[in-house]
Amino acid sequence: MKVSNSRLSKIETQWSLVRRANTIEPGATMAQTELFELYSPAVKRYLLASLGNRESADEVFQEFALRIVRGDFRNADFEKGRFRNMLKTSLYRLMVDFHRRKQKQRKLGTADQIDFIAAEEDADSGCDAFTLAWRQTMLDQAWRRLEQLQIESSKPYYTILRARVDHPEMTTKQLHEHLHESQPIAIPAEGSFRVYLHRARRRFAKLLTEQVAISIEEPTPDNIEAELIDLGLHVFCRP
Return the pLDDT at 167. 94
Question: Is the CB of residue 48 less than 8 Å from the CB of residue 112?
Answer: no
Predicted TM-score (pTM) of the model is 0.71
Is 142 a domain residue?
no
Is 239 a domain residue?
no
Is 44 a domain residue?
yes
- Kindly list the distances between the CA atom of residue 192 and the CA atoms of 62, 131, 199, in Å, as whole numbers in the listed order: 49, 38, 11
Instruction: For residue range 154-166, list pLDDT tens digits in order.
Output: 999 999 999 999 9
Sequence-distant (≥ 6) Cβ neighbours of residue 81 within 8 angstroms: 216, 217, 218
Q: How confident is the model at residue 26 (pLDDT cuts 50, 70, 90)?
A: low
Return the pLDDT at 178. 93
Q: How confident is the model at residue 175 (pLDDT cuts 50, 70, 90)?
A: very high
Instruction: For residue range 201-235, list pLDDT tens digits in order.
Output: 999 999 999 999 887 877 888 989 999 998 999 99
Is residue 9 scored above 80 in pLDDT?
Answer: no
Instruction: For residue range 52-67, list pLDDT tens digits in order.
Output: 889 999 999 999 888 7
Is 28 a domain residue?
yes
Share of the chain above pLDDT 70, in %: 71
Is 191 a domain residue?
no
Q: How confident is the model at residue 183 (pLDDT cuts 50, 70, 90)?
A: confident
Is 180 a domain residue?
no
- Residue 29: give the domain boundaries: 5-121
Helix axes 129-153, 28-51, angle to 10 degrees: 130
Is residue 27 scored above 70 in pLDDT?
Answer: no
Total domains in the chain come to 1
Instruction: For residue range 54-104, list pLDDT tens digits in order.
Output: 999 999 999 988 877 776 665 555 555 567 777 788 888 899 888 888 777
Is 213 a domain residue?
no
Q: What is the 3-state secondary structure (H, E, C) of 83-143?
A: HHHHHHHHHHHHHHHHHHHHHHHHHCCCCCCCCCHHHHCCCCCCCCHHHHHHHHHHHHHHH
Alpha-carbon dihedral of residues 161, 153, 213, 142, nearest 10 degrees? Answer: -40
Kindly report the number of other CB atoms within 10 A of residue 9's CB atom. Answer: 8
* Strand ranges inside the chain, DSSP E: none
Is 138 a domain residue?
no
